[in-house]
Homo-oligomer: A and B are copies of this chain.
Amino acid sequence: MKLLPYERTAFYYETDQMGVVHHSNYIRWMEEARIHMLDQLGLNYQKMEELGIIIPVLSASCEYKIAVHFNDSLQIISHLDHFNGVKFFISYKFIKDGNVHATGKSSHCFLDRSFHPIRLKKLFPDIYETFQTSISSEE
């Protein structure tokens, strides 16, 4: 399955006095791109939350290579790297005009509304299957 990249233009308020987009915003863009990507896989974030599945971030990282400026339009490509039933791992590329401006990674788990880990396979087998299938088709 071919996923659409996430398109994003940098907002004015995302810049800082260095004249470039502040590095913290890339972590936010990763969330936007991740939610957009999962939605295309049939894993709608809002619906999962409504089912009581909370998906916190366990780790996030970003390597900044070329600065991004106000009004720059980027493609953010997220890739579901790995899923072991308990956690999943995503990597990101921030691309403008064919150049990689940054790369990122994040990892996530599944909690219930009381912030306790849930066994996805048992409680939400459909969602578990979709994650499994998405990984297989991506690898």
Q: Hey, which bits of chain A sit against chain B, CB under 8 A? A: 11-13, 15-20, 22-25, 27-28, 31-32, 35, 45-46, 49, 54, 56-64, 67, 70-71, 115
Contacts and interface: CB of A to CB of B under 8 A. Distances in A.
Nearest to A106: B23
Contacts of A17: 12, 15-20, 49, 70
- Give the number of copies in the complex: 4
Contacts of A12: 16-17, 31-32, 35, 45
Contact of A24 (B27, B54, B59, B61): B27
Nearest to A14: B16
Given A16-B17, A17-B19, A62 B63 contact: no
Nearest to A32: B11
Contacts of A45: 12, 71
B67 A56 contact: yes
Contact of A64 (B32, B54, B58): B58
A103 to B, nearest CB: 10
B62 A60 contact: yes
Contact of A56 (B46, B59, B64, B70): B64
A61 B56 CA distance: 16
B64 A62 contact: no
Contacts of A35: 12
